[in-house]
Amino acid sequence: MLRRTFLSTLPLAAAGAFGVHLPAAFGRTNDVELGPSRLLCEPPRPLGCLMMLSKATPLQEGRAMSFVLRTPVFSDGGKIPQKYTCDGADVSPALNWSDAPARTESFAVIADDPDAPRGTWTHWIIWNISPNATALPEGVPGVGESADGARQGKNDFKRIGYGGPCPPPGKPHRYFFRLYALDAKLDLTAGASRNELEHAMKTHVLSQTELMGKYGR
């Protein structure tokens, strides 16, 4: 039920050229905490891993932490139950995580389908999740701002909040849930677009992790 984000598309030599010093066994975002300017890996985007001038520092005196995202309702790479799709109740699945970077000031989640016919389809964006949170409950209401300060933007269904998998008939699609640990709360109005969210958080990502499920008809 967990997935770790790999930075396999970034050669170590290239990292050195930018002044990024990586441990010999480096290969996962959960091996290092990334500073204010950092490596940001966002598969399946065309550029794979985006290099920003940074120096990666080991976590907890060199001991690797495992920043991981899980759900109790499907395994990583497994089938998403109908309840969480447009064929069912269309509610967001419960998510939980552990071992976020110590300097985390907020979390953000982006859920999307890279296999959609018209290109990557955004199903959910939520940010300013409390740094003390370790989970999101099932069925997060589709409101712009919740009582705890978390904010949601518009998905590609043009609705605020979560919109579940709803693929055309054929091969099952992949649905990625990405969790970002940020070093700040974002000054971004509820109802914002994915592009606006990515722009607001691009210099604040400490680490990220992801979970993938599949759904087809």
Beta bridge partners, 96, equal: 70, 135
Spelled out in words, what is the top-level CATH class assigned to the domain 2-215?
alpha beta
Over range 117-125, report the average pLDDT.
Answer: 97
Predicted confidence at residue 23, as pLDDT, reads 41
pLDDT of residue 164 exceeding 70: yes
Average pLDDT over residues 169-182: 98
Q: Which residue has the tokens 């794979």?
A: 48
3-state class (DSSP) for residue 16: helix
Output the pTM of the full model. 0.73
Across the chain, the runs of DSSP E, i.e. the strands, are: 2-3, 32-33, 39-41, 49-51, 57-58, 68-70, 95-98, 106-113, 121-129, 135-136, 151-152, 173-182, 205-215
pLDDT in tens, 78-92: 999 999 999 999 999
Coil, helix or strand for 82?
helix
What does the pLDDT look like over 31-76, one tens digit per residue?
Answer: 334 444 343 444 444 433 433 333 333 344 334 469 999 999 999 9
Please state, in angstroms and as integers, the Cα–Cα distance from residue 44 to each residue in 114, 204, 210, following that order: 7, 20, 12
In this predicted model, what pLDDT tens digit does every residue of 128-163 receive, in sequence order?
999 999 999 999 999 999 999 999 999 999 999 999
Check whether 114 has a pLDDT greater than 80: yes
Cα dist from 79 to 141, 170, 172, 212, 217, whole Å: 23, 15, 9, 9, 11
